[in-house]
Structures are given as C-alpha cells and as structure tokens.
Amino acid sequence: MEKIKNRNEFLFLYDIKNGNPNGDPDENRPRIDNVTGKCYVTDVRLKRFIRDYLIQTEGEKYILVTKLGTKTVNLTDRVTDSLTENESKIKDGKIEGKDLMNILTSTFIDLRMFGSPLAFKSAPPEWGETSKITGPIQINFGETLNQVEEINFNGTSIFRSKGEADDSEQKQGTFTTYYAIPYGLIAFHGVINENSAATTGLSEEDLHKFKVALWKGVRESSSANTRTKKGQQPRLLLNIVYKEKVIIKENGKEREVSTEYHIGALEEKVTLKPISDIKEDINIRKTGEYTLDFTRLTQSITKAKNKIERVEYCACPEFKELYITDFVQNLKKIMGEERVEDLNIDELSETEA
C-alpha cells in the first residue's frame, strides 16, 4: 500500500452527557483542571476507543496494543503470535531487527498509526535489536471547550442470594456511586506526519480507516458502550490536508520544496460561549445552549490556504444545523468548493444531513 505523502492536521469534537470521559486512576473521577475548570481527556483514552473499533472491524490479531480475550498480554506475547503466523519470512530460525519491524508494521494497523515504544519483556536474543517506533499520528490531550463541574450519581445495586436456612431467595443491596460531568464538548487536536509515515508505512487506506474509527469509536466501540461513556456523540471532524510540495522563490528563481507545515493548536481557535439564558459554562447541559465561534480558525486557514490541498469535514446533522453550515460556507469561499469535502462518515442521506 502506498504510504501517505501529505501532512494532515485534524480537529475532532465530541460531547458527553452525564458521563465520565476519562476517569483518574484513584477514584475514577473526571480529570478536571483546577486552574481552567475544564475537563481533560488523555490521548491514551481516545486511542483505546479507536483500537477497540478497529478490533471490531479489522480483527483483534491486527491490533498490537490489546488484550487476548480477557487476558492482558505484553508486547512480546503479541509479537510472538505474529511471528508464528509469519514463519515463512524468518530465515534459519532467526530474524534481524529490520525484518522484525517490517513484519510488525505490515501486521499491526495501530503500530502503523501510533507507533510503539516496543518495550519487549524477555524477548529472545534471535529477535535482534529493536527500537522505539514513533507513530505518524500524534494526538494531544483533549479538553472540554466549556468549564465543567463534577456531579455524582448514587444508586443501589441489587442481587439475589439463597438463604442459609431454606432455599428462599433474598435480596441484598450495595450502594454505588459514580462521578461524572453534566455536559462537556471535548476537543482533540492531532497531526499526521508524512515523514514518520515513511517509517511505519501508514497508507492512505490506513488513514481512511483512522478517520472512520476516530469518528465512530467514541460512539460505537465496546469501550464506549458503558454506563459512563454511553452519552458520547461525535460532533465535528475537521481534517486539513496540506500540499506535498509548494513553490517558493529564492534568489529570483522558483523551486519546489516540501511543504512541511501545519497550523497547530486548532482547538484553541474555536471559542465556546453559553447563550444568555444559561449565563455560565457550568450550567450547560446540551447542544444549543452555547454558541461556537470559528473566526480565528477561519483566519488561520485563510493565511495558510496556499499550503493546503483540501479541507475535509464531517458533522452530525444537529451540529451542522446549529454551528457548522456557515463555517463550511466560509471555507468554500476561501478554498473554493472543489477543495472542501464532506466525508459523511455515517453515510446519511442529503435529507437527513
């Protein structure tokens, strides 16, 4: 498969209602920044959604960082399984580091996307030297665009048991509590680097699968189908595809060079404000109770338009109606209609969209 040649930069927005987007290791509470009042989500959490969706669509054997059934395995176990299936590529029972990397990157789609430190445990010496692989897809921590407050939900878990004196069933209860935020619009920013893709072999087909898994993973993956995550919905994916080459003038002459540029910090260029009736961020409970201002993002794209090949987007119908239509129309004026593409990942009809 042909490796990607263009740098990509994306902004991904999804929201959650009465849920915990990323629990901390101690009490499984939302991770709220004490200074900003915003809830943050690690890139590891988002990648888990993506990997779980890819397991559902591609198969578990093509995912390096995962469990086998209910068993947590280390990287050595996963690689051993892969090498067993690739015995024909191993000469005289040995494999050199480069050949090992070729087998791994051709097998595991998440390795081609995200890379891996490849911290093998008790790896046999015949594997040769292995080193860290930097993935072409790098994702920053996500953060809510609105300030939030923590709330908790209390309940009782009931189960039945047999009485000791007779066989009659008895009801027993355990108090349960989980911590959540009422509503959060979470923004993730990431860059897909074409230079790193040359190492892992990330292809255009892989990139398409990534965009689908990014969009659907927060809603459709097994790890999103839980009590604290079931309120998640993808809202907007904006992907900027930069040109592979640009023409520059130097000493009165034109020459072609690699673009090697991206805008950066796209999430900081979108401003959320509660509507007047709501007054404060922490009172927001659903879409429509805030406005989104894309002015700074539009300005940044305008300044970089000569380096941009096209802009792709996907928006859910409700978000498109409330916030995105005018933004997309402005993009078309800046870039030209043919350079703005609706990905329509959910494949909705025009009347639905």
pLDDT of residue 175: 61
| DSSP structure string for 211-223 | HHHHHHHHHHSGG
pTM: 0.89
Q: Where are the domains of the chain?
A: 8-42+137-342
3-state secondary structure of 113: helix
pLDDT of residue 66: 81
Q: How far is CA 249 from the centre of its chain?
A: 38
Ordered per-residue pLDDT tens for the chain, 353 residues: 789 999 999 999 999 999 999 999 888 999 999 999 999 999 999 999 999 999 999 999 899 888 655 555 566 667 777 666 666 555 555 666 677 788 889 999 999 999 986 655 555 555 555 567 889 999 999 999 999 999 998 765 555 555 555 555 556 666 678 899 999 999 999 999 999 999 899 999 999 999 999 999 999 999 999 999 999 999 999 999 999 999 998 888 999 999 999 999 999 999 999 999 999 999 999 999 999 999 999 999 999 999 999 999 999 999 999 999 999 999 999 999 999 999 999 999 876 44
Contact 237, 215 (CB under 8 A): yes
Helix (H) or strand (E) holding 285: none
Q: How far is CA 157 from the centre of its chain?
A: 33
Contact 268, 165 (CB under 8 A): no
Could you tell me which residues come within 8 angstroms of residue 35 by beta carbon, excluding any fewer than 6 positions away? none
How many whole angstroms separate alpha carbon 64 and alpha carbon 79? 8
Report the Cα–Cα distance between both ends of the chain, in Å, rounded.
33
pLDDT of residue 104: 86
Q: b/e per residue, 61-80, with b = 16+ CB within 10 A?
A: ebbbbbeeeeeeeebbebbe
Strand partners, 68: 71
